[in-house]
Each structure stands twice: as structure tokens, then as C-alpha cells.
């Protein structure tokens, strides 16, 4: 096992502390399912409380760093220092309905050396990441050039090369978010060619599971940086490939993302690009 760096210990400490609160709140949500009001307000407070815990822990450890927060937005830090990209509760709808599939996602992104970065944002590589699943107590983590890990076990993406043997994950547009017509065209191309398609509702965990070889590939669009920043690094450090639908290997693929091993990524990208072109 690779020695765990001080930075990863900081990320894991923060994630586990926020995860303890989410586990407790998740137990309450299950009871609230039977109430007339429902658990929506409660979940919103749980999400905000988890984010506050992460903010407090990480700010104390790295006071000069900036933040990109799902609830709190962008908080600027020292522009010469890295920033944290955080989703305190990825899989909110699962949490809301008492489904035990959600995660905390934290990534560390470095400022771009040229001041621009590959996407023009001024930010460069993601160099450290953790996706923590509080219910299963699974901690997926990675550092650039040091591999991807589940606790102390090294992760590798799936070795499958044939689509008809592969299990592919995705996210489905909902409530006016995303392009359903585009997704349907992609599904029509992929569905008949693969062993199965799964939609579990937490992109960070989907990407972590690609890194762990549980899923063979993944595609989705209309995401946010905090949904994918950690997962992109996990897949890459597990030997996989990540790009957007245009084939660009950006540090954070959020607008659209395709992930898998070298062969499956290439095949998925070809099919996705063909489906999009057919609808243009």
C-alpha cells in the first residue's frame, strides 16, 4: 500500500466527520418517510450541515485555500494555492427516499501554471480526491501519480474489452435538467450493445465504481464540477480514461463525461459522438 499523505488524511478526516452526521440523519429520514410533510426540508438541512462540517474541517487545515461548494458556491482563496471542490451529499434524491446510495465527494484542484488552464478557467489538474460512502464506510481515494485506492486496496479499472460483456452506468435527465432527446439517442446506440445499463443516482460513486471495476464504463451530461472532480481522478489513477463527449481530456469533465478503460472508452466515445451527430 502507498503511504497515505497528510493531505489525504485531511480529506478523509473531514469526510468521515461529515459522514457520521449523514449516517445519523439518514436514519431519521427513513422514519420521516411516513410523515405528511415528508423529509425534504430535513434533507436540505442535512446537506447544509454536512457542507458546513467539511468547510470547517478543511478551512482549519488549509486556511488559505479556496472552495467550490454545492450549496455555498465559490469562495476565493489565495490564487496561488489549490482549492477544494466539494459535494457534501451526492445522491440527494436517494437520501431523500431512504435509499442507502450516496456519497461525500472532495477534490483538490491546482491553479493553472499558465493562468488559463485547459478549459480557460484558470485552474489546472486535480491532484487529490476522495469519495466517501457513509453507509458502507467505503473510502475511495486517489492522488495524482500515486494510484487509486479503496481503503488500503489498490484499484484498477475493469479489463473487459467487449461491450456485450460490459456493465455501463449513466445518469438520466430529470425535472428539466439535461437533454432527454440526446440521452435517448445515446441509449438507443448503447443499450443493444452492452450487457446492462445502470442508473444509481450518484455520479461520484458511479465514477468511483468504474475505478474499482464494478462498472465497466460511464456516461452522463449536464453535471457540475463537484459531481465529477474527484471521480475523474479516481478513474485516471486506476488506469482508465475520462473525456467529455468531444473527446477532450479535461481535468474536470462535468458538462459531459465518458469513462472506462482504454478500449471501452474509445468505443463508448465513438457511439456517443455518433448518436449526438445523428441528432444534430
pLDDT 10s per residue in the chain (280 long)?
Answer: 667 899 999 999 999 999 999 999 898 876 665 444 455 566 778 889 999 999 999 999 999 999 999 888 999 999 999 999 999 999 988 988 889 999 999 999 999 988 888 888 899 999 999 999 999 999 999 999 999 999 999 999 999 999 999 999 999 998 777 899 999 999 999 999 999 999 999 999 999 999 999 999 999 999 999 999 999 999 999 999 999 999 999 999 999 999 999 999 999 999 999 999 987 7
For residue 72, tell me if it sits in a domain. Answer: yes
In this structure, the answer to whether residues 142 and 252 fall within a common structural domain is no
Where would I find the H helices in the chain?
6-32, 40-61, 92-96, 180-190, 203-211, 225-237, 262-278
Taking the C-alpha atoms of residue 160 and residue 264, their distance in angstroms, rounded to an integer, is 8
Which of 154, 189, 221 terminates a domain? The answer is 154
Cα separation of 21 and 43, whole Å? Answer: 12
Domain C-terminal end among 154, 171, 204: 154
CA distance 235 to 98: 28
Same domain for 120 and 170, yes or no, is no
Q: Say whether both 10 and 137 belong to one domain.
A: yes
Residue from 235, 226, 225 nearest 258 by CA? 235
Q: Which residues contact 97 (CB under 8 A, 6 or more apart)?
A: 33
CA distances from 19 to 79, 80, 148, 159, 277 (A): 29, 30, 21, 32, 42
Would you give the DSSP letter of residue 88? E
Domain presence at residue 1: no
Question: Could you tell me if 46 and 150 lie in one domain?
Answer: yes
Q: Are 15 and 23 in contact (CB under 8 A)?
A: no
All residues at 6 or more sequence positions from 200 whose CB lies less than 8 Å from its CB, including other chains: 91, 94, 101, 169, 206
Cα radius of gyration rounded to whole Å, the chain: 18
Pairing between β-strand 83-90 and β-strand 66-69 as defined by DSSP bridges: parallel
Among 89, 124, 154, give the residue marking a domain's end.
Answer: 154
Give yes or no for a contact between 102 and 133, defined as CB atoms under 8 angstroms apart.
yes
Contact 95, 205 (CB under 8 A): no
Amino acid at each position: 500500500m502507498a503511504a497515505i499523505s497528510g493531505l489525504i488524511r485531511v480529506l478523509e478526516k473531514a469526510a468521515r466527520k461529515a459522514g457520521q452526521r449523514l449516517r445519523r440523519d439518514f436514519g431519521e429520514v427513513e422514519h420521516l418517510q411516513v410523515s405528511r410533510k415528508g423529509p425534504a426540508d430535513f434533507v436540505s438541512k442535512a446537506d447544509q450541515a454536512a457542507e458546513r462540517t467539511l468547510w470547517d474541517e478543511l478551512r482549519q487545515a488549509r486556511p488559505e485555500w479556496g472552495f467550490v461548494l454545492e450549496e455555498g458556491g465559490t469562495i476565493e482563496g489565495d490564487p496561488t494555492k489549490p482549492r477544494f471542490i466539494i459535494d457534501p451529499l451526492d445522491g440527494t434524491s436517494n437520501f431523500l427516499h431512504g435509499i442507502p446510495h450516496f456519497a461525500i465527494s472532495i477534490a483538490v484542484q491546482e491553479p493553472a501554471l499558465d493562468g488559463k488552464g485547459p478549459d480557460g478557467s484558470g485552474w489546472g489538474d486535480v491532484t487529490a480526491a476522495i469519495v466517501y460512502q457513509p453507509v458502507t464506510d467505503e473510502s475511495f481515494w486517489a492522488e495524482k501519480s500515486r494510484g487509486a485506492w479503496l481503503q488500503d486496496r489498490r484499484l484498477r479499472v475493469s479489463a473487459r474489452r467487449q461491450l456485450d460483456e460490459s456493465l455501463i452506468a449513466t445518469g438520466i435527465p430529470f425535472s428539466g435538467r439535461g437533454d432527454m432527446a440526446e440521452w435517448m439517442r445515446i441509449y438507443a446506440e448503447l443499450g443493444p450493445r452492452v450487457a446492462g445499463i445502470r442508473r444509481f443516482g450518484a455520479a461520484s460513486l458511479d465514477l468511483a465504481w468504474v475505478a474499482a471495476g464494478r462498472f465497466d464504463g460511464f456516461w452522463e451530461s449536464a453535471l457540475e464540477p463537484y459531481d465529477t472532480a474527484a471521480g475523474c481522478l479516481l478513474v485516471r489513477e486506476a488506469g482508465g480514461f475520462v473525456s467529455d463527449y468531444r473527446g477532450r481530456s479535461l481535468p474536470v469533465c462535468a458538462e459531459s463525461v465518458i469513462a472506462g478503460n482504454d478500449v471501452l472508452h474509445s468505443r463508448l466515445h465513438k457511439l456517443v459522438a455518433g448518436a449526438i451527430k445523428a441528432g444534430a
